[in-house]
Amino acid sequence: MTSTSELAQRYRAVFPSWLGPLHGEAPISIDHGDGGEVWDLEGNRYLDFFGGVLTTMIGHNQPDVTAAVQAQAAKVMHSSTLYLNEEMVALAEEIAAVSGIPDARVFFTASGSEANDTALLLATSYRQSNQVLAMRNSYHGRSFTTQAITSHSSWRSSSVSGLDVQFVQGGYRLRSPFRDLDDDAYTQACCDDLEQILDMTSAGNVACLIAEPIQGVGGFATPPDGFFGQMHKILEGRDILFISDEVQTGWGRTGEHFWGYQAHGVTPDMLTFAKGVGNGVGLAGVVARADVMDTIKATSFSTFGGNPLAAAAGRATLKYVLDNDLQGNALRMGERFRQRLDPLIADVPWIAEVRGRGLMVAIETVQNDSLHPDAAKAVALADGCKERGLLVGKGGLYGNVVRIAPMLNVSEAEIDEGVDVIAATVAAIG
Ligand code: PMP
């Protein structure tokens, strides 16, 4: 039987140098999973608080999703949007209904990057402009276009682009020049900066602002509630579209809301989704107001977008999330997690901040009592948790943030187990 270390060698030999497994020197394999747990090839068990980057959202081998995928695989796996298919149309209707966007239209894609590419195509066509705003510390994908709106230099592989992009202050408060201001003053300072960017750098007629309500790869950086609502007032006055990238924040993960944008008192012109909605099956897309979606006149088509297999997984996942009020569970379990964890790590001098919402929690590591990033501590924390049987992720501008994102249906016992492991690892690091 193949061992994990053999697999690591084969991985390194066949994949690009810029692709790397977590836990660099001692990566783990995932052979199978059940609910919130996974097992490696050697049979070691881990509690999964990352879900392959927030993508296995309601548990591994979730019976409803597995049954829906198996039944659909036995019927037809792919048809494309050239043909009608009940699963594909029904999922689009269901997503339109929960999107909160009036007169919504849905376009399915195969990845979050392709969804954001599509949103940019729509916005730049609708507004007849290549000028785009994005937030500092953003990540929107690995495609050529979405790299141009990513402002996270360790994840940005090229600056070549046909877009004219300006980056706006505000998503990442801890390292903002305005960090010492209170919520309202912080928001106002960022809005003033936005107005100045528009006045000073734009050639009029900006197409859109694209933003993650909570920055995912950026380390679950969370602006004050209402932040994007205030920004939107400025955008609206200049007919600039607002795109909410909900790839990580969607489907109730933030607990208080179903979508991240809802913390801000604003309805976006478009939202993009991916990751969790297929519970691991590739499914992504864009929801837009009809007049924005229908702006393209040429025929367009995404071969894998909305294929019946992915649509069946998506329908089963969404139904389970709604029927079982997993947004409510995210709120309750997120609160339990923070209530238990925060006092245990409150006085640790190398933790600058614990932040996030619901079941999106981040720990930012720094050199003692400073804001100087300490990536080695984040590595030690993630690796130490793994050694103790808990999978968490990493991220952040300097690779100095540990990201924790349990399944939306995580149990109290699992939350408590996760907290115990994190607290023990923090204590061991010292
Ligand atoms: N937007 C956000 C907020 C993301 O976190 C990601 C993936 N990490 C993407 C877009 C890109 O999604 P994909 O990897 O499916 O292309």
Number of domains in the chain: 2
**pLDDT value, residue 204:** 87
CA-closest candidate to residue 174, choices 230, 229, 220: 220
CA-closest candidate to residue 397, choices 237, 177, 175, 188: 175
pTM (2 d.p.) = 0.98
Contact 174, 207 (CB under 8 A): no
Q: What domain range is 267 assigned to?
A: 66-323
Residues whose CB falls within 8 Å of the CB of residue 70, separated by 6 or more in sequence, listed in order:
none
Residue-wise pLDDT tens digits, 11-66:
999 999 999 999 988 999 999 999 999 999 999 999 999 999 999 999 999 999 99
Using the 3D structure, point to which of 288, 323, 358 is the last residue of a domain.
Answer: 323
Asked whether residue 317 falls in the same domain as residue 331, the answer is: no
Distance 257 CA to ligand 1 centre (A): 20
Beta bridge mates, 211: 244
Residue-wise pLDDT tens digits, 192-247:
999 999 999 999 899 999 999 999 999 999 999 999 999 999 999 999 999 999 99
Asked whether residue 338 falls in the same domain as residue 293, the answer is: no
Q: Given a cut of 90, is residue 88 above it in pLDDT?
A: yes
Q: Give the CATH number, domain containing residue 32.
A: 3.90.1150.10
In the chain, the percentage of residues whose pLDDT exceeds 70 is 100
Asked whether residue 235 falls in the same domain as residue 145, the answer is: yes
Distance 274 CA to ligand 1 centre (A): 7
Q: Which atom of ligand 1 is nearest to the CA of 215?
A: 3
CA 269 to chain centroid, in Å, comes to: 19
Q: Between the CA atoms of 235, 396, 334 and 311, what dihedral angle is there, to the nearest 10 degrees?
A: 70
Asked whether residue 310 falls in the same domain as residue 387, the answer is: no
Q: Which atom of ligand 1 is nearest to the CA of 249?
A: 3
Asked whether residue 347 falls in the same domain as residue 412, the answer is: yes
Token digits of residue 297: 């006149």
Contact 408, 320 (CB under 8 A): no
Q: Give the CATH number, domain containing residue 187.
A: 3.40.640.10
Mutating to test ligand 1, I would choose from 50, 275, 304 the residue with most ligand atoms within 8 A of its C-beta, which is 275
Distance 247 CA to ligand 1 centre (A): 6
Residue-wise pLDDT tens digits, 372-427:
999 999 999 999 999 999 999 999 999 999 999 999 999 999 999 999 999 999 99
Residue with CA closest to ligand 1 atom 12: 112
- Ligand 1 pocket at CB < 6 A: 53, 111-113, 116, 139-142, 212, 216-217, 245, 247-248, 274, 284
Distance 282 CA to ligand 1 centre (A): 12
**pLDDT value, residue 25:** 85
DSSP 373: B
Distance 164 CA to ligand 1 centre (A): 21
Residue-wise pLDDT tens digits, 59-81:
999 999 999 999 999 999 999 99
Distance 393 CA to ligand 1 centre (A): 15
Asked whether residue 150 falls in the same domain as residue 42, the answer is: no
Using the 3D structure, point to which of 300, 323, 346 is the last residue of a domain.
Answer: 323
Q: Which atom of ligand 1 is nearest to the CA of 53?
A: 8
Residue-wise pLDDT tens digits, 123-157:
999 999 999 999 999 999 999 999 999 998 889 99
Mutating to test ligand 1, I would choose from 139, 220, 286 the residue with most ligand atoms within 8 A of its C-beta, which is 139
Asked whether residue 298 falls in the same domain as residue 334, the answer is: no
Asked whether residue 30 falls in the same domain as residue 177, the answer is: no
**pLDDT value, residue 153:** 87
Asked whether residue 83 falls in the same domain as residue 18, the answer is: no
